[in-house]
Structure 1
Amino acid sequence: MRYVRWIALAAVLVLVSSGAIYAQMREPTPTGGVVDTGAPRPVVDGNRIVDARDGLPWVPRGVNWSSFEYACAQGWGMSALDTTGDQDQYDREAEVIADWGVNTVRLPLNQDCWLGTRGAPVSDQFDERTPSDYRADVADFVSSLNRAGIVVVLDLHSRKRMGQPEFGNVAMPDSQSLTFWRSVARDYAHNPSVMFDAFNEPYSRYNPTGSKLVFDLTWKCWRDGGCQAPVEDDQTATQGRVTYTVQGMASVVAEIRDAGAAQPILLGGLDYSNDLSHWLQFAPDDDQLVASFHSYDFKDCASQKCWDEVIAPIADRVPVLTGELGADDPTGGYVSDYLAWADAHDIGSLFWVWADHPSDPMALVRNESGSPTAYGALARRYLREAANS
């Protein structure tokens, strides 16, 4: 584990309703300086995220924008927009998202498409696609979102599936995940309006019948790595006979910092980022960490009792962000109940998912122009009210 190196740049005078207080703001100072993106500059300050531009508390609220994690592995484009070379299309998409009151967008990425490993990105018969193309498309959309006043969370979400066109999640980072983060962090170290999500959803694995635990992810391995996880992703049955050596969250954090990036890093817990029970005990040493909680009604921590007993004490110590929020029936009450609880604890939420997937009850939109589904209407109303409060 390594301590983050920060340079205190200035003492910022912050005015609040109870009077004037002084806050010592620390901004990241990566090699090459910090660019002015026009979007908030999130910095962890105790158990809050603040905007380094003015030192005021800033709560991330927004959506997950899905497709960078799978389109490039399916061979039909880099993202849902397939906009290689068309910045205007990303600009229009960012404007539509911003109109909902969004201040944060989480972008799930594909490790193999970024690195060019395991045959990714996949090209169709008409167009050759390269890792450089993929990285350029991601950069174009990040720039568009930032210009629209939106912070971006870059998330290591998936890899290209072995022998399959779809995407899949392995249980924990592997050695190439460190290469991925070294590259991503180097590319975005200068951008203060970007945060990093170290690994989407860590998990344990059972055999195909569910009768035997073949990989038990412990909190120690979550932090330190070294255990052996099945090579198969979570869309592929496994007996756990062929494994790889897990890289822990401490190594991922160190890789990002060693690449010169000082921005906040999100760390999801066990059980697909739904179990944060020992997050405080095992979090790596770093003063810019955010606990990422994935809240769904079909997971174990789906009651106010769990939120009060597990999530709230963490939020008293470090910022908590609901990196994904959804439900089997997202208009059935669970999402609204969670949002009310999260707001009372200054916990931001990112809705899953901004995608026009007709068969998915959690799809927020019906088309690229942002026409909302019933769930989308709920999300848009909440986001606009939060933005105007």
Structure 2
Amino acid sequence: MRHARWIVPVAAVVVLLTGGAIYAERRDPAPEPAAGVDTGAAQPVVEGNRLVDARSGSRFIPRGVNWSSFEYACAQGWGMSSLDTAGGGGAPDAEAAAIAKWGGNTVRLPLNQDCWLGTRGAPVSDQFEERTALDYRASVQEFVTALNRQGMVVVLDLHSRKRIGQPEFGNTAMPDSESLSFWRSIAGEYRDNPSVMFDAFNEPYSRYDAVDNLVFDLTWECWRDGGCSAPVEDDQTATAGQVTYPVHGMADVVGEIRDAGAAQPVLLGGLDYANDLSRWLEFAPEDDQLVASFHSYDFKKCSTAKCWDAVLAPIADRVPVLTGELGADDPTGGYVTRYLTWADSHDIGSLFWVWADHPTDPMALVRTGLGTPTAYGVLARDYLSSAAARP
């Protein structure tokens, strides 16, 4: 989501920067995908407009939560994620078990591109511990394994870049060349895990300057093919649009994932922070394992049943649709419940934003990492447990 509305807790701010860039070598020609191991979780594959569990052929509708921390903690200098402060070496297993108790079958993990690659001084070390990109990758792998053991599919999401020492973190508008290195590495590492899906880029968007003039108009052509130039500043930093970087499109990202030998489904969010899917079917790259990802918030334009009927329903007739993020300014005020009712009627799964203990964020689902729910958390827990009980 667009993160301007809450502050991420900073346990420590440090200036010691470590780690050189780590890049996986491009495989040419691409290897054949290896047979995946049984992780205990569903193994989603796209068949027509449905996700199915490859183990049984039955329909799989992802329902669960976004677990937030890997996208910012590693760049703020207080650990790889909040698991580092959860107490004890069993923190990933305990956290995974707490999520599983709510009844979800899927967890989306937002990741930080620079922390994974070891670029721009990320992950940040402190006076007690040197942290490297390999450490970050190992922490992600440990949690993915714990979630899979609890029977949950994991969505790995390219969410953010580093913002060292900053209490908030921002997102760039579209993938850059290093995003392709990120996906080459991620896909190579997880290509044999059939209980992992990939979310190509969190929330593509157009960009305005400080006086609301459009300085970067993200078109659907550029969304798919790249070739345009986006401001280098993230969406937490003012921009005049004068310094830019070359954008890579979703076709490039999907190509990198496939070239690395990964055959799993890939989520593609549309324009306007993944809230605009109006031309998704027209411009989606050629690939038979794509999922349309929609971010549903009451403060975005497509927030009515009229829009959902006009835009989402026709897509859901052709390809799987997943609500990659679901929330609201007041998540217990009725919007979330209305959307869930509509989504269920169209067999569209939803992942609640956000499983995190952020006291100032109305969309925080928990008061502690181990599952003490907020009022919104009670709503989410009741929905997920009810959905899990359905035949």
- Tell whether the structures are fold-level matches, with TM greater than 0.5: yes
- In terms of fraction of residues, the more strand-rich structure is 1
Pairs within 5 Å for 1:1-80? 30-80=32-82
For 2:188, the aligned partner's letter is R
Q: CA deviation at 1:33?
A: 2.6
Distance (whole Å) between structure 2 residues aligned to residue 242 and residue 340 of structure 1 = 44
CA RMSD in angstroms comes to 1.4
Q: Which residue in the other structure is 1:371 paired with? A: 372
SS of 1:57 mapped into structure 2: coil
Distance (whole Å) between structure 1 residues aligned to residue 316 and residue 124 of structure 2 = 41
Unaligned runs of 5+ in 2: 1-30
Q: Which residue in the other structure is 1:142 paired with? A: 144
For 1:260, the aligned partner's letter is G
Moved more, 76-85 or 275-284: 76-85
Q: CA deviation at 1:273?
A: 0.1
Q: Which residue in the other structure is 1:235 paired with? A: 236
Q: Which residue in the other structure is 2:269 paired with? A: 268
Query: Normalization by structure 2: what TM-score?
Result: 0.90
Distance (whole Å) between structure 2 residues aligned to residue 112 and residue 326 of structure 1 = 27
Query: Normalization by structure 1: what TM-score?
Result: 0.91
Residues 94-123 of structure 1, C-alpha deviations (whole Å, 9 max, x = no match): 011000001000000000000000110011
Larger relative contact order (Cα-Cα within 8 Å, sequence gap ≥ 6):
2
Q: Which residue in the other structure is 2:8 paired with? A: none
Residues 1:298 and 2:309 are matched in the alignment: no
Q: Structure 1 residues 372, 90: CA separation in 2 closer, same or farther (over 3 Å shift)?
A: same
Distance (whole Å) between structure 2 residues aligned to residue 382 and residue 369 of structure 1 = 18
Pairs within 5 Å for 1:1-389? 30-82=32-84, 88-161=90-163, 164=166, 166-210=168-212, 212-389=213-390
Q: Would you say the 8 A contact 1:155–1:196 is kept in 2?
A: yes
For 1:366, the aligned partner's letter is R
For 2:70, the aligned partner's letter is F
Distance (whole Å) between structure 2 residues aligned to residue 85 and residue 359 of structure 1 = 23
Distance (whole Å) between structure 2 residues aligned to residue 30 and residue 191 of structure 1 = 14
Q: Would you say the 8 A contact 2:93–2:146 is kept in 1?
A: yes
Q: CA deviation at 1:125?
A: 1.6
Distance (whole Å) between structure 2 residues aligned to residue 288 and residue 174 of structure 1 = 23
Residues 132-177 of structure 1, C-alpha deviations (whole Å, 9 max, x = no match): 0000000000000000000000000000027846422000000000
SS of 2:83 mapped into structure 1: coil
Residues 165-224 of structure 1, C-alpha deviations (whole Å, 9 max, x = no match): 6422000000000000000000000000000000000000001111x1000000000000
Q: Structure 1 residues 51, 284: CA separation in 2 closer, same or farther (over 3 Å shift)?
A: same
Percent identity over the alignment? 76
SS of 1:123 mapped into structure 2: coil
Q: CA deviation at 1:369?
A: 1.9
